Structure 1
Amino acid sequence: MRDRDSAVKIAILGGSGKTGRAVGAALARAGVATRPLGRAAFDDLPAALAGADAVQVIAPNLHPDEPSYVAAVLAAAAEVGVGRVSYHSVASPYVPAMPHHLGKAESEDLVRRSGLDWTILQPCAYAQNLLPAVRSGELAVPYSVDAPFGLVDLRDVAEATAVVLTGDGHVGATYELGGPALVSVADVAAAAGIPARRVLAPDDAHPWLRAMFDYYDAHGLPTGGVPLRALLGRPPTAVAAVLTRDLGA
């Protein structure tokens, strides 16, 4: 008799975080069983991954050594015969000014050289990241409110991840995932009917976050929407629609 985990098809490293939960929900809607895994999985990664057909790799935010995290997952996947991997990277991974982006660039290289069937996803910042500030009644950010971003809907990213993990033709692909158009924080504030204001970064902000804010201030994070449209088979969700859906704005 097969054990109760035998139906699990996709293991999700980082499955308890907001991205992992969204990916799990998208896979569930596609009728795919998942195994969400947290940090405790690293006590015995081969055992945690055993029996899965694929693994979605999502590292914790600002992980101090993301390449080591990813390398451990890849080694365990290879050991137990999980031949398919999707890696959640970031838009513009090779940006020397942002150390945590460089960690993802190095991790992408490890994935590409892993010998597994791989796909890499490079999402822009989520529109949902701004929702707590929207709820407060003012969008205050520590960078220019006019900088351009390809802000993307987390649900769209999760749906695209499910497509990549369950469909054909995605092995060896790297997809940049942005929203339907470039927008600024000022645009998001206008859509929500609230003011936008630039503020100083908190004194205790992580140095990598300070570096990110400085980069955003100078360049934003422009990201194209064509790959996401192709994966979803529809236009990506606009920020205004995210606000209406998630806040009732």
Structure 2
Amino acid sequence: MAFVGRAAAVLVLLAMLAPFVYAVWMSFAPGEILEPPTDRWSLRWYREFLGSARWTAALRTTAEVAAVSAVVSLLGGLGVALAVARYHFRGRAMLSAAVLLPMFVPAVVLGMGLLPLVRGVGLWGTTLSIAAAHSLVSLPVVFLLLRSALEAVDPDLERAARGLGAGPMTAFRRVTLPLISPSILAGMVIAVVLSVNEFTLALFLGSPRLRTLPAALWPEARDKETPLLAAASCLSVLVTLVSLGIAARVLRRDEVHKSA
């Protein structure tokens, strides 16, 4: 049975990786048609992507939005997780449900709802508006991750530190924060991954002059379908895989540390 389970897992993994491998293959096509190369391979589309001001600007916007979104979702998720995990107050369950609500709202509905708001405050087409929207998507995941980490930390450790003369902030910074730091790093990485791959909100809240990479690729995918799509997708997926690998490694080290 163990062999069957491992074989099934390998088959599922291969099925998930097959589209990415095919996209990598197509990204080396020398011609204008979106098809895998047969006799000659070329880096033409990678050079075109990295040498184009349009695409590098979209890539830079994606990085800026992801960085701001990760910081905002981390601060918000950590604050709410601390309130829910460490304090008992009326409305605690409602607060937890409210934080999780964006997980159950379709991105199209969320984008349409945020569009008049950001236009009303004059933030439409800015990095801040897209980053704030992306942080709503990643906030529930970061909150769940940090709440679980905080609940695994014994509150008596902070009480002991305060009994020895440390203030509340010092006790949290010197005792609790190092213990949950792997979860904080993993939450930031996951927030970056979600932001890099988010398309719908960026399409609603971006402008013709400010687009993330997925939003900038949409007209290319709709009208041209050149191997540039495959090259850009490979670079995006590569960032995602590296980020997920970092998160998995951090969580694994945390599990090993706790079991030791």
TM range (shorter): under 0.3
Which structure has more helix as a fraction of its residues? 2
Pair member with larger Rg: 2
Judging by fraction of residues, say which structure has more strand. Answer: 1
Q: Which has the higher contact order (CA 8 A, sep 6+)?
A: 2
Taking structure 1 as the reference length, the TM-score comes to 0.26
